[in-house]
Amino acid sequence: MIDQNYSNFKDKGFIILRNFIKDDDFDSICENLKKDILIEFYKLKKKVGGSLMGNLNVFPGSYAKIIFDKLNKKDFHNIIENITNKKFSDFDIISGGNLNFQFKFNQHFHTDSKFNNSFFIINVVTENIYETNGPLELVPGTHKENIPYWKFILKKKKYKILLANRGDILIRTSNLWHRGTKNESKEPRLLLVFILKDKTGDVSKFEFEGNNKPQIFNNFFKTSIKGTIKENLYTRFSYFYLFYRLLRSFFVKKCDFILNLLNSWKKVFDQINLIDDSDSIYKNHKEFYENRHDQSALSIICKKNNIFSLSASECDWAEFSGKRVWIHLNDYPILAKRDLKYNIIKRFIKRQSKNLKRLKKKISNS
């Protein structure tokens, strides 16, 4: 059975262990957990990120240890060690959960981590999951390769709806593509989670010990104006969000030159201060205007490799015989361009506005 679990996990990226928790008091523990989670939710004075989508992150408080103790047995250790090829003591363990509210929205397909930074997720089913109360939808086998979003959307794939009963557990890898589906029942649906990550110290940490009270957290989105706009696009205008994700992809020819270039770009991310807004280690050049993060790094790498770049200003025309021309772009047939022709007054105002910004920046740096 253990060998079969390993084979299934390696092939599909997940396994389902049916009726794994059989304790007599498990029903009452799960019902009390959900009751206390909902009490905390109704206490909230303002909406948290994910409320519109209908999926909220939860922390189960003292219930985490109670339920984990029911998992923490020899059979469970053997299964984890078999599918991960690591000792159970090699992991730090974090608890959490997901509360899926009724009559909200489907999530978009996603992974819970970057491809090369995966970890293991154990979902404990604390109430029966039907087709109508927001089951997980998994895409088996998508953990095997690093798939960009556009490729995932276009790729032919099979789906697996997770229907389960209380006491079942789902073990999956974090880089498996999946989504939460719309809850069309009359009640919210709770699903508990334990995350196994490589331990950071000599002794395994159990990050749920000593915490008594269940809590509600943002899921995906912040409560800021920007986060609210994003959540509305994600849910009410889901096709716009899909197009937004696709537009964030870019296409290159797969060859040694491009792979070496992308690896050079990737190495920049090892020095995080080069691509965020933290203070510079060295004094900035007097002409420094602003850091464009990973874009700046890619631009420098392209210049070093003699790669011709098009302007991103959408106004990349040239002057020839007193007119605007685009003949220098004849070899680049696809270009989003905005050829706005301002009158002399508007051009003057825009130019002076830019000059004023540069002057302010120079004064503040001096």
Instruction: Kindly report which listed range (129-143, 228-242, 299-313, 332-346) carries the lowest average pLDDT score.
Output: 332-346
Question: What is the per-residue pLDDT for 243?
Answer: 78
Question: What is the per-residue pLDDT for 191?
Answer: 94
Instruction: Kindly report which listed range (67-76, 93-102, 194-203, 272-281) carries the lowest average pLDDT score.
Output: 272-281
Give percent of the chain with pLDDT exceeding 70: 88
Question: What is the per-residue pLDDT for 314?
Answer: 47
Residue 337 pLDDT exceeds 80: no
Looking at per-residue pLDDT, the higher value among 348 and 167 belongs to 167
Report the run of H or E that residue 17 belongs to, with start and end: strand 14-17
Looking at per-residue pLDDT, the higher value among 359 and 183 belongs to 183
pLDDT in tens, 169-219: 999 999 999 999 999 998 999 999 999 998 888 777 777 666 678 888 877
- Please give the average per-residue pLDDT across 149-170, as a whole number: 90
Residue 226 to residue 223: CA distance in whole angstroms: 8
- Please give the average per-residue pLDDT across 337-351, as a whole number: 70
pLDDT in tens, 112-121: 988 888 899 9
Confidence tier at 339 by pLDDT (50, 70, 90): low
**DSSP secondary structure letters along 188-251:** -EEEEEEEEEE-SSSS--BTTTT--S-EEE--SS-SSHHHHHHHHHHHTTHHHHHHHHHHT---
Looking at per-residue pLDDT, the higher value among 294 and 28 belongs to 28
Residue 197 to residue 22: CA distance in whole angstroms: 26
Query: What's this model's pTM, rounded to 2 decimal places?
Result: 0.68
Confidence tier at 29 by pLDDT (50, 70, 90): very high
Question: What is the per-residue pLDDT for 128?
Answer: 94
Question: What is the per-residue pLDDT for 74?
Answer: 87
Average pLDDT value over all residues in the chain: 83
pLDDT in tens, 45-84: 777 877 778 888 899 988 999 999 998 888 899 999 989 8
The C-alpha angle 161, 4, 109, rounded to 5 degrees, equals 25
Q: Are 119 and 197 in contact (CB under 8 A)?
A: yes
Q: Which tokens hold the place of 171?
A: 């073990």
Confidence tier at 350 by pLDDT (50, 70, 90): confident
Secondary structure class of 161 (helix, strand, coil): strand
Residue 231's nearest CA partner among 102, 114, 108 is 108
- Please give the average per-residue pLDDT across 288-307, as a whole number: 80
CATH topology of domain 2-247: Jelly Rolls (2.60.120)
Domain spans, the chain: 2-247, 252-309, 315-366
Residue 336 pLDDT exceeds 60: no
Residue 311's nearest CA partner among 291, 289, 332 is 332
Question: What is the per-residue pLDDT for 53?
Answer: 81
Give exposure, 323-362, as e/b (b: 16+ Cβ within 10 Å). eeeeeebeeeeeeeeeeeeeeeeeeeeeeeeeeeeeeeee
